[in-house]
Chains A and B, each alone.
Chain A
Amino acid sequence: MARIVGGLTTSHIPAIGNAIARKMFEDPYWKPFFDGYPPVREWLDEVKPDVAVVIYNDHGLNFFLDKQPTFAIGAAPEYRNDDEGWGIPTIAPFKGDPAFSWHLIDNLVHDDFDLVTCQEMLVDHGFTVPMQLFWPNYADIGIKTVPLVINTVQHPLPSPRRCYNLGKSLGKAIESYPEDLKVVILGTGGLSHQLDGQRAGFINKTFDRMCMEKIVDDPEHFLDMSIRDLVVEAGAQGAEFILWLAMRGALTGKVTARHSNYHIPISNTASGLLCLENAA
């Protein structure tokens, strides 16, 4: 049977993709951020997951406002990255696992999560940046992926509770897959940041710290928050924290934080990194 080995969180902003392309790992501005990742990669080297389910939001590469799904999932053999308009180099495609994707779709829809299914799907920085951070050699090791998109572009967004419950169904669906797959779940985006309006540059260290702590042992703390509450506390784009909650919902066992890093700022964002182990 498939097993969920853990969950990872990381910010996914485009500036990171740019810094990776320019190999700025030792640059004084970037070093405190990049230094968080090697211990997580060591953990991944030990655990060797076969598949990564990547929970992210599309920022206007695959989806536009003509059709904006609340939840969408990839079911393709391969996922390509493409030009997002601002000059980050396009990177190598990612492997999919359509049979596993369809198993998840069957079970999630059965559980009342009516996802949009995508047999073709371009993956933007929300997906590619975390993959590059955790598996710089992803193309060589051939780790398989399932992209899971949650709308954080156009309000109304799904509530924290809804996203957490989606995660719970996702966890159950994964663990009912008959193949012996080791699965890791990525919750990407966040933490506090706001790009738009006179409130641009808003960061809330106190709230972020609480998120980093409570998501480990007490994720249900957030379930009565509204999206508006999240925007107030974490900034307009800090609402991406719902992506972390979806990840956390899928961890069904005993959860232990193996590594964490919190750093302000990268670009306009407070970056949060967590490596959560999920013991049976």
Chain B
Amino acid sequence: MQRISIDPITRLEGHGKIEIFLNDAGGVENCYFQIPELRGFEKFCEGRPADQVPQIVSRICGV
């Protein structure tokens, strides 16, 4: 089975990768979209004062 990796996907904020598997006839057998990143804002914002959170989460995406 032929495999095509699109790594990284570009021209967007963030990280992504696409794996495409082709069958013997050359058609797409299956396709997987992967996000190879995590920073964990969901956790590390815990315990931060509420008024500081907008300043922190503005760095989730600066685009």
Asked if A and B are interacting partners, one says: no
Interface residues of B (CB under 8 A from A): none
Interface residues of A (CB under 8 A from B): none
